[in-house]
Every structure is written in C-alpha cells, then in structure tokens.
A and B are shown apart, each in its own frame.
Chain A
Amino acid sequence: MDAASSGAQTEPAPAAGAPERPSDEEILAQQNLIRAEQAQRSEYVGNEEPLSALKEEYINGNQNFVQKISKLESAYGRFRRTRGDGNCFFRGFVYAYLEGLLLGRDTAECSRITAVVQGWKMRLVEGGFQELVFEDAMDLLLDQVASVSKPDSGSGPQHEQLLINMRDDTVSNMIVMFLRLVTSCEVQRREDHFFPFIMGMYDEPPPTVELFCQRFVEPMGEESDHLHIVAVTDALQIPVRVVYLDSSGHPGGGSGAGGADLDATVHDFVPDACPPGTQPRVHLLYRPGHYDILYPR
C-alpha cells in the first residue's frame, strides 16, 4: 500500500538542526533505479501466456484461486500481464483496446474513437487544463489509433509495432497520462455523480472531487479503483469487463469443502449510452491490487 501522506512525518523533532535526509535528486535517482530494476523483470505490457501459467502460480497456494481459474479457462484461453506500477489498469485497458481495434479491423470504431478523443480537447480546456499540458499526449494516442486502423497486408508488423510503442517509456506513459487527465476531467464534470463514491472509498475522504482528482487520478502510479474505471469507460464510451479473482470462498462461509464450483466475480462497465447487450471490447483480470489483460476464447 502506498503511503498517502507526503513529506516528512512529524516526529518530535530535535530542537535544532535539520536531520540528515536524502535530497530530492537522490530520492528521484533512487526511484528511477527501482523502476529500471522493475523494467528488467517485466515489460509495461508482457507477452501473451496461456491461462494455465496463471494457475500454476497458485497450485501450491490458495485452492480457491485454482478453482476459479479452472472455471475461467472455459471462457478465456490466454492472458497478458502488465507491469504492477500503479498504471496497470490504464495501460492494460488502452493496450487491449488498441489491440482489439487492430485485430478486429474495426474501422468504424477507429473513426468513432478518433472523434471522441478529439472532442475531449475542448472539454479538457473547458475543464481548466492547459492545452500545452495534454496536446502531445493526445496526439500520441491518436497516432496509435491511426496506425492500428491503417489497411495493411497483414497484422503481424502492426501488432509488433503496437507492442513496441506500448512498451516505450515515453509513448506508453504519455498515453496513460492522457487517459488520467480525461478521467479526472470526466469526474469533475460530473461532480454530483462521483462525489458519493469518494466519500465511501477513502479513510480520509478528500473534501472535493477536484482535490480527489489532483491527488488520486492525475498523478502517475496512483492505483485505479471502480471510480476511475466508470469515469474513463464513460468518457471514451468503451465497454469493459473486469473479472475479479480473489481468494474468497463461498458466500455462506464454508471454505473449499464443496467441490469446484467457485466462480470469479464478473463486472461489466457499460457506459449508459451504449445500447443494451453491448459486448465488452476489453477484458481485464483483477487480482487485489493489479490488472492484467484477458483474451476471450
């Protein structure tokens, strides 16, 4: 869990002289080192793996996971890991969406999302964001949409390029940043709708949605909750299915004795404007604290 408080904790301070502490530059250098180590272990967006690889993680552990994953295998054959850097929801979401556009050759959806993203330019400015803050990031996202929608002899090289881009520090993170700003703007535009969610979700609820967004939506690496997902799927009109995988057993309380009938919980985030029965375009797997990408069979 990330410490939410900033700066120095208030210990009974020594009467005089500041205690030795690392400088900002040293802290930043240390953080970059940690990121670099993490990068060696896992890409921002990993390679596709069979779901059995996920099951193996738990084979000697909690059997509720094993049961649930076994049942998931009928609907999902493969999954793709994302790096656990606090941006996994946004990154997994946008990668899976762009990949879906590419593989589905869905030119109508490409045009739709391009128009929607361009429409956000005005809304962001109206919402108080300076254009210079988001325009480069917005262009990077539009570039990705344009390149996956290009008619091409085969999807191989394009698919490879998308992966390369979404593994690139700048491109990948700038796109995540843009989605965070759109999410923030959407939450603030619909303050009345979102304020009750903030109240329920934090020990010390931020007093306004504006402060909430500045602290928990806009900064990179802040983890996403239900609220972020509702806001970004509404903002971009992209329906998402999240499969929740945790260790919980039967709701009645009896644990594990009753055979392989445990199901992961499924939640669909379908924007109100989508016609009923709209199928999700993106499938994500949630394990407490982390999102990966799922591929339906």
Chain B
Amino acid sequence: MATARQRLLKEYKEALKGRPEDTGITLIPNETNLFAWRAVLRGPKDTPFEGGKFELVINVPEQYPLQPPAVRYRTKIFHPNVHFKTGEICLDILKNAWSPAWTLHAVCQAVLALMSDPAPDSPLNCDAGNLLRFGDTRGYNSLARMYTLDYAQAPVAGAGASS
C-alpha cells in the first residue's frame, strides 16, 4: 500500500507536467483518493473516434504496480475490444501481460493505440468485431462515428465533479 501510494505520487507529479495537446491524454487524479483516477483521451486522427473526448475510469488496486489498474470507458464507444454496456476493455497489458514497467500514462497510450488499431479477433463487442472481420469497414466506421458524435462530443465534466 505504501509502495503503491509512493509510486502514484510520482505519477501524479508526472501527470501535472503532461502536455495533453501533444499526447491526447489528460490524466486527472482524484483530489481525495490517490487510487481513483480519470483520464480523458482525444480520439485519434484518421479514426471514427477523431474529435471525440473519451473518458476513462481508472481504479488502482492496493497492490499496484504489481497488479494492473482496472480501466474502463465511461464514455460509450463502439469498438470491437470495448464492452458496449460496461466499457470494459480487452487489452492484454491490463490482464496477463501487465508489467510494473507500465504507468497509468503508458496504459492510456496503449488504449489510444487500441482505438487506432482494433483487434477484431478478440472482441468484447461482437457486432463491431464482426463488421471488421467481414471487411465491412464502412459499416464499422459509420456506426463508430455515430456513437462518437452522440456520446463523445459532449464536454466532459470537470475534475472532481464526477458522480
């Protein structure tokens, strides 16, 4: 626990130095609980998520960094590797390929990379996965775009104001 806190404090200081305009990542620690973070990701260019603001909920376990943070989307997103209802993310580094060499910021980078490069063969959202697997990029893009416009454009609530 002390180790996790120590490590998170360092990541917090790093987060303050972050340049969201370059990275597309805004990491927001909870002012009263160092183990509860949020992040806002800017939808990557040349994807149906472009221009969207996607909020992640990050819960850090006491065993961090030996165990991975639990990360899910709060913003609804249509993506093969994200559960449409719960926002859960299928990403190996959040599970069996986790290593303490990853930081919360690096995890956000990996999630951004997943938005650009979906892995339709291990889908949590079978509808999105099937569209891509059968080569219907147009169908996938238009659905994903629709949900981006519907859910991800709204300005995200400010720091600490989440319910």
Contacts and interface: CB of A to CB of B under 8 A. Distances in A.
Most buried by B among A3, A13, A14, A24: A24
Interface string B71-103: 010000000010111101011101111111101
Given A7-B95, A218-B99, A23 B66 contact: no
Most buried by A among B11, B67, B85: B67
A180 interface: yes
A13 B126 contact: yes
B50 interface: no
A203 to B, nearest CB: 17
Interface in B114-137: 121-127, 129-130
Interface string B1-45: 011001100110010000000000000000000000000000000
A21 B61 CA distance: 21
A158 interface: no
A63 to B, nearest CB: 38
Nearest to A3: B96
Interface string A1-12: 011001111100
B77 to A, nearest CB: 14
B65 interface: yes
A13 B100 contact: no
Given A8-B90, A14-B126, A132 B10 contact: yes
Nearest to A132: B10
A16 B127 contact: yes
Most buried by A among B100, B122, B126: B100
Interface in A114-142: 129-130, 132-134, 136-137
A18 interface: yes
B9 to A, nearest CB: 9
B99 A174 contact: no
A161 interface: no
B159 interface: no
A18 B103 contact: no
Contacts, number: 96
Contacts of B85: 18
Nearest to B14: A132
B70 interface: yes
B103 A24 contact: no
A219 B97 contact: yes
B156 to A, nearest CB: 22
A9 B9 CA distance: 37
Contacts of A219: 96-99
B124 A18 contact: yes
Nearest to B71: A24
A219 B98 CA distance: 6
Given A8-B124, A25-B70, 12 more contacts: A3-B96, A10-B122, A10-B123, A18-B124, A24-B95, A27-B95, A132-B11, A132-B14, A136-B7, A169-B63, A219-B99, A220-B99
21 contacts: A6-B95, A7-B91, A8-B122, A10-B121, A10-B123, A13-B126, A13-B130, A15-B126, A18-B125, A23-B86, A24-B72, A27-B95, A28-B70, A132-B10, A132-B11, A133-B103, A136-B3, A177-B100, A214-B97, A219-B97, A220-B98
